[in-house]
A and B are shown apart, each in its own frame.
Chain A
Amino acid sequence: MIHALLVQGLQMALVLAIAPLVTGFVRVVKARLLRRRGPPLLQPYFDLARLARKEAVLAQNASWLFRAAPYLIFAATWVAAALVPTFATGLVFSWTADLIAITALLGSARFFLALAGMDVGTSFGGLGASREVMIASLAEPALIMIVFTLALVAGSTQLSTVAEHMLSAHVGLRVSLGLALIGLTMVAIAENARIPIDNPATHLELTMVHEAMVLEYSGRHLALIELAASLKLTLYLSLIACVFLPWGLAPAGAAPAVLALGMLAYGAKLALGGALLGLFETVIAKMRVFRVPDFLGAALMLGLLGTLLLFVSRSF
């Protein structure tokens, strides 16, 4: 019990500590691919520190919701990120929370972000919120379908169980898991406002989705939202790593040496995921807003197909 609590605490601190690093790493990868030197790896930390020191400027008509939303968004995302086994399974929380809970936590974070975007009443906030909800209305069902696929394979929606099942010898190569991996990657790209759905580096207010909703935020509020966005990216990378690359995950009650090995493996997985994301974002242009439903519709179909295949036969 104490071991599980320790691992859980370590994991919560770890995701929070490395989330900005993941964002910074993706930025460096993209810059290097474009032959730019790019910002320092630790720049997101400097940005957060700078924002935290700055005064938070609020619009005159901002309601309590606008001030509360950053804390709610950050808390929900952090909890969700803490539920994903990063370097070790056997977390304290994992018996009460699972993939569906993670989906719900992220959904409520987005709900508050969209509300906050509309709260001040600027046209960009409304524009961003409407686009975000359009994307979410397709991304969430797709994620749920993928969760069902995994649950049918592993017999549980609980991530530690899924990871342990994936490590066992009798999983093998499965069509449904391949579909789920592609679908989950597509959802992750959409959920994290990456190219081709959204451009995290854009300065064109008319094309923004995520950035348009947070345009009115400043100071510590913006720092929390930025940190939550980094956490979300880390969460999705960890989720894909945990389900599809579970090697190196320390089992429950493992010795410190095994835990350290798990951390090393986790770092390597994040680096691989970040590098692939940077590469993918470099070779593709952003798609038209109204093509997004096609993209996410494909993810939804993949999830659905995976589930249906498993109903036909458990061997797919």
Chain B
Amino acid sequence: MPALFNVLASGRIRPDHRPWLRAEVDAALWCALAQQLAEGRWTLLGLWGDAGAVHMALLDATGGAVGVASLACADGTFPSVGRLHAPAQRLERTITDLFGLTPVDAPDTRPWLDHGRWPVSRPLAARPGAPEAAPYAFLPVEGEGLHEVAVGPVHAGIIEPGHFRFTANGEAVVRLEERLGYVHRGVEGLMAGASVAQGAALAGRVCGDSTVAYALAFARAVEAALGVAAPERAQWLRGLMAELERLANHIGDIGAVCNDAAFPRLLAPCAVLREQVLRAAEAGFGQRMMKDRIVPGGVTADLAPAGAARIRALVSTARAALPELISIYDGTASLQDRTAGTGFARPDLVARFGCGGFVGRASGRGFDARRVLPYAPYDALTFAVPVLDGGDVNARVWVRIKEVEQSLGLVTQMLDRMPEGPLGVDLPVPGAPCEGLALVEGFRGDVLAFVRLDAEGRIARCHLRDPSWFQWPVLEAAIEGNIIADFPLCNKSFNCAYAGVDL
């Protein structure tokens, strides 16, 4: 039994939680878990609020197990985890914004998602309050010759909104502070009381470029809660879609990172290749981004033979195109001069924050949900998880390049061995409340989904945690000591989600 389960076993284990383990713990065990988090024994996977309770998902990396600790907040407070473990701070601020639950002794009590412009405050609490608008105080920076540069949330280009407050000494960045929350849509509020079908559609709209990953995480969590499994063919088709999504995003990112160094010569072929991936996805599954193709119980679109042939053609096109793209990237000294050594993400920070995806794997953290917590069809497939330790923009580009190669291999394997069979199963009515948790590897990293269904099978609570929650703070650290003009390049190499975090 994994060590994490032994620790959680001293709490009250919930029998209706699947597939791993959730325990209701007391404040003492909660604090002990937070302390162990700070010591690096576990990795924080998520921290979210509920009606009168908080949940904390932990990863025991050595045992490959996920456990959730839940603490009832009788008086609307809970002991702060962020006090001991910095990655929890923004999650705690979000809990306060949405549920009104207060972390005791939290180091940062400013709001996070709530900018005072919502019609109510604490929208998910039992009794929402009146809107509260208070001026937002950025962290103070003192020193001679420092000046502030405020960027966003409206940018010169058409990108998602986020505010970046730089404190700089000339060009050198002394501190960067992010402020997000501008695209909060209240997804978790919309989820409450929705049917599973509506929930699947909502989950697919949390973050547009990760729609497959989110829909897959949601579907797996619902299936875990109901104790059903999608048919084998559906599982494999899901895997195929997930890899196509990874391919499209990674290829697009490689070009976009280079374009931020004013090198459109790679953007152009990468954009063409990405478009070919999207067209193959459309030919295979009827929708370019494969939105609404994954639902709890199975998939809604089958892969026709013509579509499979199209995807095979794409794989050979990509395999033929990649070597030249890599040689352009690797052989352009002026480009290497920009990416190598820029935006170094420290391995210890990456490990502490549990950064997933290319951010983690470029700084020596080899976690990949497909490998550590294997789910179908990846448990039956051969692939490598590339890990580098450069930690800079160059390493993050290289992890993407290597993952593209792996994904092409995975797509071929899945097409070769695609099982026949039905596309879905009917979901049973649970009859009693039940809940499920799922961790799925999206292109940015691991997407966590927690779903609790009521007795009629409607969603009582759904929490979706984007990998970027743990990457945004590391970006703040990675830019320190760099120059302001290099921030767009670093930012693009992290490519954190705005919508996924703002939810």
**Residues of chain A having any CB pair with chain B under 8 Å:** 30, 33-36, 123-124, 127, 130-131, 195-196, 199, 201-208, 211, 215, 282-291
Contact = CB atoms under 8 A, between A and B. Distances in A.
B156 A289 contact: no
Contacts of A33: 265
A34 B151 contact: no
B208 interface: no
A35 B151 CA distance: 33
A289 B151 contact: no
Closest 8 A/B residue pairs (Cβ): A203-B157, A286-B262, A285-B263, A34-B268, A199-B262, A285-B335, A204-B488, A285-B334
Contacts of B151: 123, 205-206
B132 interface: no
B456 interface: no
A36, A202, A215: residue with the most chain B Cβ atoms closer than 10 Å: A202
Contact of A288 (B264, B265, B337): B337
B148, B149, B155, B156: residue with the most chain A Cβ atoms closer than 10 Å: B156
Contacts of B268: 34-36
A203, A206, A284, A285: residue with the most chain B Cβ atoms closer than 10 Å: A285
Contacts of B158: 203
Nearest to B258: A285
A5 B115 CA distance: 65
Interface in B259-291: 260-265, 267-269, 272
Contacts of A208: 156
B272 A203 contact: no
B261 A285 contact: yes
B22 to A, nearest CB: 44
A283 B337 contact: no
Interface stretch (B8-16, B45-53, B189-197, B478-486): B478-486
A202 B265 contact: no
Contacts of B334: 196, 284-287
B483 A285 contact: no
For chain B, the bracket of interface size reads: 20 to 34
B6 interface: no
B382 interface: no
A33 B465 CA distance: 42
A208 B485 CA distance: 8
A153 to B, nearest CB: 32
Interface in B209-254: none
B489 to A, nearest CB: 8
B265 A283 contact: yes
B269 to A, nearest CB: 8
A206 B488 contact: yes
Contacts of A205: 151, 155-156
B402 to A, nearest CB: 22
Contact of A286 (B157, B171, B261, B487): B261
Given A33-B265, A123-B149, A131-B485, 6 more contacts: A36-B268, A123-B147, A206-B485, A208-B156, A282-B265, A285-B334
Contact of B171 (A283, A287, A289): A289
A207 B485 contact: yes
A286 B338 contact: yes
A123 B148 contact: yes
B332 interface: yes
B488 A288 contact: no
B150, B171, B269: residue with the most chain A Cβ atoms closer than 10 Å: B171
Contacts of B488: 204, 206-207
Interface of B: 147-151, 155-158, 170-171, 258, 260-265, 267-269, 272, 332, 334-335, 337-338, 483-488
A204 B338 contact: no
A243 B157 CA distance: 40
Contacts of B258: 285
Contacts of A36: 268
A33 B266 CA distance: 12
B445 to A, nearest CB: 24
Contacts of A199: 262
A204 B157 contact: yes
Contacts of A203: 155-158
Nearest to A126: B147
A168 B464 CA distance: 77
Contacts of A207: 260, 262, 485, 488
19 contacts: A33-B265, A123-B148, A123-B149, A124-B149, A131-B485, A201-B262, A203-B155, A203-B156, A203-B158, A204-B156, A204-B488, A285-B332, A285-B337, A286-B261, A287-B337, A287-B338, A288-B485, A288-B486, A290-B171
B198 to A, nearest CB: 37
B156, B262, B334: residue with the most chain A Cβ atoms closer than 10 Å: B262
B483 A204 contact: no
Given A34-B264, A196-B262, A289 B272 contact: no
A127 B149 CA distance: 9
Contacts of A34: 264-265, 267-268
A285 B262 contact: yes
A130 B171 CA distance: 10
B98 to A, nearest CB: 32
A208 B155 CA distance: 13
Contacts of B337: 285, 287-288, 291
A193 to B, nearest CB: 11
Nearest to B339: A285
B255 to A, nearest CB: 11
A306 to B, nearest CB: 26
Contacts of A288: 337-338, 483, 485-486
A141 B497 CA distance: 46
